[in-house]
Chains A and B, each alone.
Chain A
Amino acid sequence: NAGVMQNPRHLVRRRGQEARLRCSPMKGHSHVYWYRQLPEEGLKFMVYLQKENIIDESGMPKERFSAEFPKEGPSILRIQQVVRGDSAAYFCASSPSRLAGGFYNEQFFGPGTRLTVL
């Protein structure tokens, strides 16, 4: 059973370009969460999605950032017109449905995408 997969692992963009980060949850998991970790900081929640629905985007900046989790394919975190302050590690996590017997809302993390904005 493959774990959470993220790609690319490293992404370099120049200011003003777009960054697309992809996340494939663990098999059988229908919930996806995106977190951002700035250098020397803790992980901060950005957005929580289920298939085709955004459940909670309270942690995501209102501008330039968007996320989706289509019926088919991976979840995408999209950052438009990147700025240097967007440089961070972006982690995706997945969990099973609580109704399916998920225990204590355990979330499994992918290896992250390290975004560097030049």
Chain B
Amino acid sequence: RKEVEQDPGPFNVPEGATVAFNCTYSNSASQSFFWYRQDCRKEPKLLMSVYSSGNEDGRFTAQLNRASQYISLLIRDSKLSDSATYLCVVNILPGRSGNTPLVFGKGTRLSVIA
């Protein structure tokens, strides 16, 4: 089983649509959760951290279910500029140094069509 699994995509949606991405992680010691966005041939950029209580940032809503080891991202009112690959990312409990590497899903590609 892969450490972080995401919907395979691609998702092709019209402008204004609502789209949801799902992600599951296998390591129950995972402590921090993120959604990153990666544009074609660019570096990943943090979209939002995911908190246990769920959190919202404008048109984006992230949810975390620790019991099911499941993370979701909801995008409302999709814009053309939302077209990108969305990466589900987790990391486990910090080690002695206090920081740990990130574990990435393969990503889900979103294309928003006019």
Contact = CB atoms under 8 A, between A and B. Distances in A.
A31 B45 CA distance: 18
Interface stretch (A71-79, A80-88, A104-112): A104-112
Contact of A106 (B49, B87, B100): B49
B105 A98 contact: no
Given A98-B98, A106-B46, A111-B42, 11 more contacts: A31-B97, A42-B107, A44-B104, A45-B102, A50-B97, A59-B101, A102-B99, A104-B32, A105-B100, A106-B49, A107-B102
A95 interface: yes
Main secondary structure of the interface of B (DSSP, over half): loop
Contacts of A99: 98
Contact of A42 (B94, B100, B105): B105
A91 B49 contact: no
B99 A43 contact: no
A20 B53 CA distance: 43
B99 to A, nearest CB: 5
A17 interface: no
B44 interface: yes
A45 B101 contact: yes
Contacts of A41: 106
Contact of B102 (A33, A89, A111, A114): A33
B101 A42 contact: no
Query: For the side of the interface on B, what is the size category?
Result: 20 to 34
A43 B104 contact: yes
A106 B44 CA distance: 12
A91 B43 contact: yes
Nearest to B4: A42
Contacts of A112: 42-43
A48 interface: yes
Contacts of A107: 46, 102
A28 to B, nearest CB: 14
B91 interface: yes
